[in-house]
Amino acid sequence: MGIVYLIGAGPGDPGLLTLRGAELLAAADVVIYDYLAPAKLLALAPRAEKIYVGKKGPVHALPQEQINALLIEKAKAGKTVARLKGGDPFVFGRGGEEAEALVNAGIPFEIIPGITAAIGGLAYAGIPVTHRDFNSSFTLVTGHEKDESSDIDWPSLAKLPCVAFYMGVGNLAQIAQRLLAHGMNPQTPAATVQWAATTRQKCVVGTLQTIEQKVIGAGISSPAITIFGKVVTLRSTLNWFESRPLFGQRIVITRTRQQSSELAIRLQNLGAEVIEAPTIEIAEPSDWSEVDRALDEAANHDWIIFTSINGVLAVKNRLLATGRDIRLFGSAKIAAIGAPTAAAINRELACRVDLCPDQFVAEALADQLLAAEPMREKRILLLRADIGRPILVDRLRAAGALVRNISIYETRRPAALPPGVGEQIRSGEIDWITFTSSSTAKNFLELFGPPTDLQKIKTASIGPITSQTLRELGIPITVEAQRSDIDGLVQSILSNQQ
């Protein structure tokens, strides 16, 4: 016998999932998920079968009875089932019905609560659901009852200081009319929040008397939640989420999946929606023999040069895989292109970097090496990608250095962009595309097609070398980072918002 976990995914932001929920998703054999469960959470269950059973208005992927039967079927097959539901399973999520069905079938289960939309979603709109100056109670009501019969006590509801309605946009006119008819003050502040706690969040504020027209005028539809109460007046002061500088901006990252997380987190923390579309894949060399010989002879070199974080990680992984360690570097000096690469050398290899230029380009490193000491007969080991630019090797060899250029990792172009990314760009749904190297730009264009569809898209380049490639490819450049790293790239995007 398997087990079913009814997991609340929260109101929209994937980061609001509980630790327990994340742990159980990672262990799941099957994930059965809803329309409002954040799609990014599915990545937490890489080995699981994923089944969509969402309900969007009147369109149901599966009727509730069939969802219950599916949970039972999978559990009886010995599977660990994660039932991923938006918000909280027991707050208008039909989790109680599913749990009852599991009990009747003798299936063990566990409830993992989530943050419900009326609390988390409204918090993201800057509306606290309780405040000592305004209300000492808070009431949750469904705006979409299952049939014509109603157990809502409208006369009592109209007297309460703060009421939130779930799934009530389609019935907002009737809700407002009933509250007015039973005595709620027509000037009671009101707000409707669509796609709460996501970068698609949209909020309108009015009164009980005006909120329906405000919602219609703003084009708001489900999913949305509506709140009535004086706490709504605090939105203008507490609207933290939509006030972030990149709120609502949709930004494509073309870095490798291994490298995209830092940039993605930075942009997301500033309010952007990040779409990862890696145009480079990192792979191990097809033949390790030349790499292993170079590492075994590393101590015979005067300088060891790293040009990227990927190179540092590749060396670390190879040393660990072959039972060797950093002692094989001997007394060789270490140089790096870029502060992030230098930091990675220190963090991953526990080595101090002897030389790292302020400018994060090969030309700057060549200049500093040539200025540091005569290069004639100096033995230099360069550990980098298979597609590294020749300028550093050429400059050092021209100065008489003996350069050993080793491809410690290989870069490949993916077979395609992730599904839907190209269509989003062409339809104008994307605001920015970031490019962090010449290869990301070249590969992107090969995967995407002619640059004519990019004329209205803003582009951010990490530095002059990448910008030169973009110009050669016919891709217009909106901003270029003054400092060729993630901080510089983010700052360049922010400067365009001002």
Give the active site residues. Answer: 34, 55
Output the six-digit token pair for 219.
Answer: 């084009």
- Residues facing 193 on adjacent strands: 203, 225
Q: Cβ contacts of residue 168 below 8 Å, gap of 6+?
A: 141, 142, 143, 144, 175, 224, 225, 226
**Cα-trace Rg, the chain:** 28
- Bond into 223 cis (ω within 30): yes
CB 325 within 8 A of CB 402: no
Query: Which one-letter amino acid corresponds to residue 408?
Result: I
Q: How far apart are CA 179 and CA 117, in angstroms?
A: 22
Q: How far apart are CA 232 and CA 201, in angstroms?
A: 16
Task: Of 234, 273, 278, 231, give the one whose Cα is nearest residue 254.
Answer: 278
Q: Cβ contacts of residue 86 below 8 Å, gap of 6+?
A: 8, 9, 10, 11, 12, 34, 35, 36, 37, 93, 114, 117
Residue 233 burial (10 A CB sphere; 0-12, 13-18, 19+): middle
Q: How far apart are CA 424 and CA 434, in angstroms?
A: 15
